[in-house]
Amino acid sequence: MPVFSVTGDVDPFLHVSLKQGETIYCESDAMVMMETALDLKGKMTGGLGSAIMRRFANGESFFQQHIEAVRGNGDCLLSPTLPGAIEVVDVGARQYLLNDGAFVAATSGTEMKVRTQSLGNALFAQSGGFFVMETSGTGQVVVSGFGSMFQLDVEPGKDVVIDNSHVVCWDNTLKYEVSVTTSGSGGIGGFLGNIVNSVTSGEGIVLRFSGAGKVFVCSRNRDAFLKWAASGGKAS
């Protein structure tokens, strides 16, 4: 199996070592460098239907990059779109759901499928709309997070609430639902009132995880950073 390793402390690379005949696939434009023993091809993995579903779920290109060691052993360097940490995740016994932009690369024994979400999660969770990416198969999947990354272990009876913008990926056995960080109803009542109060107070819509499994989170909020950058670095 190809060997993934993370190299560098700040904005690291994903270093991949392949033996002849081995293949990986990665997000579009992830390849930074590769040795001449390797070939790079754009492929529509899983056919047109799967490509369209991935486009809706995660904003991915229709074509993924496939890197194969054709003429002998070879190495390559990959890099995610946003600066931040990289995590190599084993899949098989565990499978994971991925938030927008988290996917970097995977071994050929895995597949990125599309899973539908509930109406509430689709409208408010911002994790792919009605669809979300889910791993399958056996091997390794590499994910990235904006900023540093941390692994949380969710245990039965100890639910965890996380701002969705900081969620990278989570165990598919976990139950997750939309919640908000405010409890006031503002006179409107119910969930709608909480949404209104959340928006006006600056508190965010969050995901509440329950059950037993792992969640990977990142330290930076991509949307908040983009708003800060667009404002010229002024606090909102």
- Give the CA distances from residue 92 to residues 35, 73, 110, 197, in Å, rounded to whole numbers and listed in that order: 30, 26, 9, 41
d(CA 28, CA 153): 31
d(CA 28, CA 173): 29
210, 203, 97: which is closest to 160 by C-alpha? 210
Please report the pLDDT score of residue 10 as a whole number.
80
The mean pLDDT value for 15-23 works out to 98
Q: Give the pLDDT band (50/70/90) at residue 214.
A: very high
**Residue 51 in this model has a pLDDT that exceeds 90:** no
Q: What is the pLDDT of residues 156-209, one digit of tens each?
A: 999 999 988 899 999 999 998 877 664 544 444 455 555 454 444 445 678 899
The one-letter amino acid code at 77 reads L
Among 80-84, 195-199, 210-214, the minimum mean pLDDT is found in: 195-199
Instruction: Say which residue, 180 or 71, is predicted with more confidence.
Output: 71
Instruction: Say which residue, 54 or 178, is predicted with more confidence.
Output: 178
Alpha helices in the chain (DSSP H): 47-58, 119-124, 190-201, 222-230
d(CA 20, CA 4): 15
Please report the pLDDT score of residue 156 as a whole number.
96
- The separation between CA 40 and the C-alpha centre of its own chain, rounded to angstroms, equals 23
CB 69 within 8 A of CB 18: yes
Please report the pLDDT score of residue 48 as a whole number.
47
Q: What is the pLDDT of residues 96-145, one digit of tens each?
A: 999 888 999 999 999 988 877 655 554 444 444 456 889 999 999 999 99
Burial class (CB in 10 A: 0-12, 13-18, 19+), 224: middle
Please report the pLDDT score of residue 73 as a whole number.
98
**Residue 69 in this model has a pLDDT that exceeds 80:** yes
CB 164 within 8 A of CB 123: no
